[in-house]
Amino acid sequence: MVFVSDRDGQALRRRERCLEEAGIAHALESERRASATYYKLCVSEGDAVNAYLALGAGGCRRPVRLREHAEPGVTEALSDVAGMLRSEATVAATMLLDAVKVAAPQLLETLRSVRDG
């Protein structure tokens, strides 16, 4: 539950609209008590924080997607691993090229001395 009011009217409809614009599923429940009828806007527990944020941003009249980032799935995890492997391969290739640049002149000098020798 994210909002309770004893008045049915424009304020309640505005809050419903805020939740709809944010794409948050909600239900409107009424509870009859001796003092009055209370209206409750209810959302799932996982959407409670986003619902409070949507209600706080009420009146902006722009669709806002307030969704938490889900944990990465298998595809995202494999993509991250592939990216790390590419990065490590680049570092290894750079180190190999640097080693060849240093060793190449020495190897050529050795080959020349053997050939002339």
Given this model, what pLDDT does residue 59 score? 46
Res 84 pLDDT > 70: yes
Q: Of 33, 24, 32, 35, nearest to 2 (Cα)?
A: 24
Given this model, what pLDDT does residue 21 score? 86
Mean pLDDT computed over 26-47: 88
Res 82 pLDDT > 60: yes
- Across the chain, mean pLDDT equals 82
Percentage of the chain beyond pLDDT 90 is 13
> Measured between alpha carbons, how far is 113 from 92 in angstroms, rounded to an integer?
31
Task: Spell out the residues 6+ positions from residue 30 whose beta carbon is closer than 8 angstroms to its own.
Answer: 37, 38, 39, 40
> Measured between alpha carbons, how far is 33 from 4 in angstroms, rounded to an integer?
13
Q: For the chain, what's the residue count? A: 117
**72 compared with 35, residue with greater pLDDT:** 35
